[in-house]
Structure 1
């Protein structure tokens, strides 16, 4: 009997020892490593001097942070360009990017929306349009499948250029009450990402990314991304306006569900360059992400979505941040 007990004890020790030597999936993925490779920002804005946005202080976010807006268009450009260098941002989709194209011709992809489809076509023919973004009928209470929006999706599919479609978050939290003249048309009941379903059925070759990740509709996003492999998401705004815990609670289910290869970095930097710092730190702080998953979000997924050549990707990755 004594030998039997010793055998049982030895067997238990061996089993426990084996378990201790086999790291769990979470342990393998957990990382404190900071990603320093190339970054693509899928969501930025440029402004001209005298624009009403300049100098505005962003009200407290859900992180209880405020951001002072750049006072001039030149200051804004200078601060953004400095962050291009600091963070190794090699490409950026910039609404009104023609204002900065001469300062970073190899980095800026010009995005435009809110213009007649024929005008967008002409700009594309002139080499002055690489994306239709951001489409934001949400602010006017108009859904993606409204007939007024369909010519833009049709044009984007025809030209083979991406579309960035904006839903929530719309403006700062409580923005409807802070700025009713600007944001008075938006409604939460018009915000779910599945409003894109009929658009995706009608234009199956459309390259589209849901701006702001589709937050807070994580189940909708999983369903939409499952059904339509051409749907990507940027995590702009949610990566600096939401508390990190909430950001991760939204992001992790998408990755767990298998969609980590279609999530892209963005900031929606308007006139607050500091938001770029917070957005990048939010992903680097996510210890549930492996370094490879951070690289996917910061660069690889967007490089695939934008159709960058192997040569350009190799060039970007050969210049690691010092």
Structure 2
């Protein structure tokens, strides 16, 4: 399966220039976590999924297009923004897998990260050859895009030692998480004892006008998982993007269904840090769920998103060193049932 360049725009939109142009550089402090990290949310790219020209990314994403008049064509505005960045230090995408993989390798080594890498079977094979046991393979899935039966998917998982079933990105196809067509896939994951990672949360601003006309924002609501968890009580679920912006709904689901974990999945760089800290991360922590929040960078064509994502969590002054260790490593290790 080949991820279209339109999907590049999807996560693209997750990072834009803020009103001041760029984030200030930060310095490490005594509360800076420096141990091993598990990234629950990285996308596997290849020569077929990288854009043919360099695209520029500025952080955070929410103000990438600060205002829009619908007399214009939204796609042209996005294209112009990515090619003409307004911040002083944008991140540029790679155009070849060789350059991209070198940059990824540098990030993984420097930051001591083991990523859960989501991609198609063919791309995961390419990554396994390149990175070996330094990655945790996760098979991506979309009901509308992927014509693959339950039995075929089961064979792939068993044959290729796939550790996670996800990212399940049905939301972009207008398919709710409790759609009955997913029942047999959920049953398979429960029977195989393999965790699933499902996209519930913010997509690209304007994505219904770009490449995902069927995207439904309301399907981010974690309450839609209740029926699934009643049918499959032994299913382990990682809610990618933590069902943002449905924080209260996410909290009540974590309260009633203690097997649910969440990953931060790029939302930390989608919005200004003050907003992310105050209304998202701090609220999940204050509700008492610090043991089920997992780090996720949502890194794709810009490898340095990994380092930026780590920096944002480390800069959260309200987090203790123990809480950071849980988010960066302990919670994911428990969720994945990694051997010590």
TM-score interval (norm. to shorter): 0.7 to 0.9
Aligned to 1:170: 203
Tell whether 2:324 aligns with 1:291: no
Alignment TM-score, normalising by the size of structure 2 = 0.76
Q: What is the CA deviation profile of residues 72-123 of structure 1, one whole-angstrom value per residue up to 9, with x for unaligned ones?
A: 1222211111111010013433334322112332221211133422222111
Once residues 52 and 273 of structure 1 are traced to their aligned partners in structure 2, the CA distance between those partners, rounded to angstroms, is 12
Aligned to 1:273: 303
Paired residue secondary structure (2:332)? helix
Q: What is the CA deviation profile of residues 281-312 of structure 1, one whole-angstrom value per residue up to 9, with x for unaligned ones?
A: 010000000011000000000000000112xx
Aligned to 2:172: 139
- Out of 133, 149, 156, which is 2:182 matched to? 149
Task: Return closer, same or farther for 1:54/1:155 CA change in 2, 3 Å cut-off.
Answer: farther
Paired residue secondary structure (1:40)? strand
> Deviation at 1:48?
2.3
- Structure 1 unaligned segments of length 5 or more: list them: 1-30, 311-322
Q: What is the CA deviation profile of residues 4-54 of structure 1, one whole-angstrom value per residue up to 9, with x for unaligned ones?
A: xxxxxxxxxxxxxxxxxxxxxxxxxxx852111000011111122132546
Once residues 285 and 269 of structure 1 are traced to their aligned partners in structure 2, the CA distance between those partners, rounded to angstroms, is 19
- Out of 283, 295, 317, which is 1:253 matched to? 283
> Deviation at 1:190?
2.2
Cα RMSD (Å) of the superposition? Answer: 1.9
> Deviation at 1:58?
5.8
Once residues 195 and 206 of structure 2 are traced to their aligned partners in structure 1, the CA distance between those partners, rounded to angstroms, is 30
**1:262 touches 1:301 (CA, 8 Å); kept in 2?**
yes
**1:135 touches 1:166 (CA, 8 Å); kept in 2?**
yes
Mapping of residues 32-181 of structure 1, within 5 Å: 32-51=30-49, 53=51, 55=53, 57=55, 61-62=61-62, 67-96=91-120, 97-114=124-141, 115=146, 116=148, 117-171=150-204, 173-177=205-209, 179=210
Aligned to 2:76: none
Once residues 234 and 169 of structure 1 are traced to their aligned partners in structure 2, the CA distance between those partners, rounded to angstroms, is 13
Structure with max Cα Rg? 1
Question: After TM superposition, where is structure 1 displaced by more than 6 Å over at least 4 residues in a row?
Answer: none
- Structure 2 unaligned segments of length 5 or more: list them: 1-28, 65-86
Once residues 166 and 316 of structure 2 are traced to their aligned partners in structure 1, the CA distance between those partners, rounded to angstroms, is 28
Aligned to 2:336: 306
Aligned to 2:8: none
Aligned to 2:244: 215
Once residues 208 and 288 of structure 2 are traced to their aligned partners in structure 1, the CA distance between those partners, rounded to angstroms, is 35
